[in-house]
Chains A and B, each alone.
Chain A
């Protein structure tokens, strides 16, 4: 039997679709592009977290699995930040 809880998968799907629509709507926001881009990626991160925590059952997993999942994400973020000087200071 299940060694974990069972989230309401259909409700999670509802949230995912709502966030997708929100991200799409944000892309049509008039005015400051920065705000629209921030909203678009905030909804993307929220969707990814919903899928990972609920559909991949990450919220029921022990710390070791979290570590395996999070370390490469941190590496990718470090990669982006390390390359920032190219487009921040070269202008």
Chain B
């Protein structure tokens, strides 16, 4: 006897959106676990402030501005999709991808300067956390840029929901950086 296994729609919420939010919930636990461990280590030991002082606040702040602005263009792409403005959608999505790549480029330059100065992941617990947290975040930015590129290359974008779902992920990646920047560079 056949068993019906279709997902039941929840009134008022599209199934895709529930799926993405569940995925983001697991991501919150992933980054949250790392951040919680970082905070406990940081408060429980001394000398971390000295290590953090070697990071470049201007570079970190520039990358923060880049990601915040990319969130604006991402949500504008979604708004243009709702308005059935294909050109505006594409321009904003392309800008979002470019800013994601700019973020990664700036991060790569920053990593190189730190490694050249002798600060590698093996240079101490602060640096291990720094490279793990920012590296994992950078991989998420790369994944977001790839998803956005697939959307951009997928021909006519008739469905604003796809933009909204990709945007949820992109804004989440932005929020993670909103916390990583003060944790690592400022506090």
Contacts and interface: CB of A to CB of B under 8 A. Distances in A.
A72 B33 CA distance: 10
A38 to B, nearest CB: 10
Contacts, number: 118
A73 B167 contact: no
Interface residues of B, number: 46
A56 B26 CA distance: 17
**Dominant secondary structure of chain B at its interface with chain A:** helix
Interface string A1-32: 11000100110110011001001101100000
Given A43-B182, A56-B168, A64-B13, 7 more contacts: A20-B61, A47-B175, A56-B171, A68-B18, A69-B24, A72-B28, A80-B36
Interface of B: 10, 12-13, 17-18, 21-22, 24-26, 28-29, 32-33, 35-36, 39-40, 43-44, 57, 61, 64-65, 68-69, 71-72, 74-76, 79, 82, 164, 167-168, 171-172, 174-175, 178-179, 181-182, 186-187
Interface of A: 1-2, 6, 9-10, 12-13, 16-17, 20, 23-24, 26-27, 37, 40-41, 43-44, 47-48, 51-52, 54-57, 61-62, 64-65, 68-69, 71-73, 75-76, 79-80, 83-84, 86-87, 90
22 contacts: A10-B72, A17-B68, A20-B61, A27-B186, A41-B187, A43-B182, A44-B182, A47-B175, A51-B174, A51-B178, A52-B171, A55-B167, A56-B168, A65-B21, A69-B21, A71-B25, A72-B28, A75-B32, A76-B32, A79-B33, A79-B36, A87-B40
